[in-house]
Amino acid sequence: MTLTSRGLAANCLRSVRPRQITGTLWHTRSQLYAAKSAPCPRCFASKSSSESWDVKMLYDGDCPLCMREVNMLMRRDSEKGRIAFVDIASPDYDPKQNANISFEEAMGNIHGILPDGKVITNVEVFRKLYETVGLGWIYAITKFGPIGTAAEAVYGIWAKYRLPVTGRPDLATVLEQKKSCRVDEPAKS
């Protein structure tokens, strides 16, 4: 599912209590708290193929720290629609619509897709996203030699340990849960 910042419901989550959200719109408590000041990513309308975007961001909607960043980017991009947000944790995630990037591959590190189909990863994605929302100066220094190398190394460590740091099971367990959900879904229909 591709989400953009156009078509935001005006009062999204304003009157909803936390217990009503658990397991439906939001997966984690930190996402709920972030929702008080950010648009709900699940309330965005899908962007049609005729609309343009500068970068498609594949993000893990089950990661509370990732969602803080996504919410900030959505706020900054709210009227422009230059970023297409794709939640890889959504049951609707389709690799075929996202440069054939599998759920497993997307869970390993951040991916972005440019309009020409080029796939970017790691710090380059953040650089592009921040440039898109007018904050390019934050990551500009990572374009230069040793600083860029160091930033990539630090991000690599974060990507490797983000699941346990955020209190989630390891990648193998997450993948197994995802597979079992896909197997169970047809039986529920």
What's residue 127's pLDDT? Answer: 97
Distance CA 88, CA 94 (A): 8
Domains: count for the chain: 1
pLDDT surpassing 90 at residue 181: no
Domain extent, residue 18, equals: 2-184
Residue type present at position 179: K
pLDDT of residue 52: 87
Q: What is the mean pLDDT of the chain?
A: 77
| 67 in any annotated domain | yes
Residue 177 lies in a domain: yes
* 48-72 pLDDT, tens digit each: 344 589 999 999 999 999 999 999 9
Taking only the tens place, the pLDDT of each residue in 2-32 is: 454 443 333 333 333 332 333 333 334 344 4
Q: Tokens 């346990």 identify what position?
A: 164
79-104 pLDDT tens trace: 889 999 999 999 999 999 999 999 99
Q: Is residue 189 part of a domain?
A: no
Place of tokens 């759920």: 103
Q: Is residue 167 part of a domain?
A: yes
**Residue 125 counted as domain residue:** yes
